[in-house]
Amino acid sequence: MNNILYITGAGVSSESGIPTFRGEDGFWTIGSKNYTPMEMATRAMYESNPEQFLSWYYNRFATYRNHGPNEVHHWLSDKNLITQNIDGLDGKAGNENYIAIHGRLDQMTLFHHQGDDVQTMQTPWDDVNEDNLIPSLLNVFNIDSKTKRPILNESFKPYVLLFDEFYTELYRISEAQERMHNADKIIFMGTSFSVNITQMALRTAVNNGIPIEVVDPQPIELPYSNVTYHKMKASKYIQLI
């Protein structure tokens, strides 16, 4: 088997000090004063209340922007990789062609209609003044000063796929699907299988008879016979192989 596809989730970055999403300390257990995480991480919230959205996004994600990759990221640096993580640690580890299927924390785009062809650009996080956080964030993302709302094709939006958005070519979805179909084996690391991309990969494996490996201390039981489970952290797995 020469074409192994690795699909990673939040469990891989937990050893870099970044909380998982659905654990006790996870991002989705932490909302804001008035909204749940599932309400916060939406395009609708960004459009209607960018102050709340950007403040939540900054405190829950951007504060981890300077964390470094761990040994698993470095091990994956020359691998065929799709990650659900937006932390950018695979890029920091040197993987030049990984797919960040949910976006990247260090980048942003113009605020656009989904499906429009736009480019990513670096988010100037260092320009954010934490002592004056909300006005500073509104300025960085060019939110209209009068309406306090983002302006289509003028304001900026974090390069991150939100709950009420769908996969587009901005997130390299066609390339991701092609990698799944061409894989000889798919190895899932540190994922709960609770997002669309993992379900898509699982369906592809089942339909094409592709063997699967699952690396997780508490793996989800999958409805597929051709699965090998490794009940351990990814850091232990790479040492054993």
Q: Which of 67, 73, 102, 113 is catalytic?
A: 102
Same domain, 30 and 11: no
Q: Which two tokens stand for residue 233?
A: 């952290």
What pLDDT is recorded for position 63? 84
At 182, list the tokens: 């061409």
Note whether 212 and 186 are within 8 A (CB).
yes
Query: pLDDT tens, 65-108?
Result: 889 999 999 999 999 999 999 999 999 999 999 999 999 999 99
Same domain assignment for residues 133 and 234:
no
Q: With H, G, I as helix, E, B as strand and everything else as coil, classify residue 215.
A: strand
133 and 211 share one domain: no
Query: For 24, which DSSP code?
Result: T
Please report, as a single letter, which amino acid is at residue 89. L
Contact 129, 168 (CB under 8 A): no
Task: Give residue 53's pLDDT.
Answer: 95
Residues of the chain with pLDDT under 50: 22-31
Please give the tally of structural domains in the chain. Answer: 2
**Per-residue pLDDT at 27:** 42
Catalytic site residue 102? yes
Residues 227, 240 within the same domain = yes
Quote the pLDDT of residue 29: 43
Residues 12 and 26 in one domain: no
- Give Cα 42 to chain centroid, integer Å: 14
What's the pLDDT score for residue 164? 96
Q: What is the structure's pLDDT at 24?
A: 45
DSSP strand pairing (4-8 vs 80-83): parallel
Same domain? For 211 and 241 the reply is: yes
Task: Kindly state whether residues 77 and 133 are assigned to the same domain.
Answer: no
Secondary structure (DSSP) of 35-77: --HHHHSSHHHHHH-HHHHHHHHHHHTGGGTT----HHHHHGG
Tell me the residue range of the domain where 33 lies: 20-66+110-160
Say whether both 97 and 133 belong to one domain: no
Q: Are residues 40 and 156 in the same domain?
A: yes
Measure the N-to-C terminal CA separation of the chain; round to a whole number of Å.
15
What's this model's pTM, rounded to 2 decimal places? Answer: 0.92
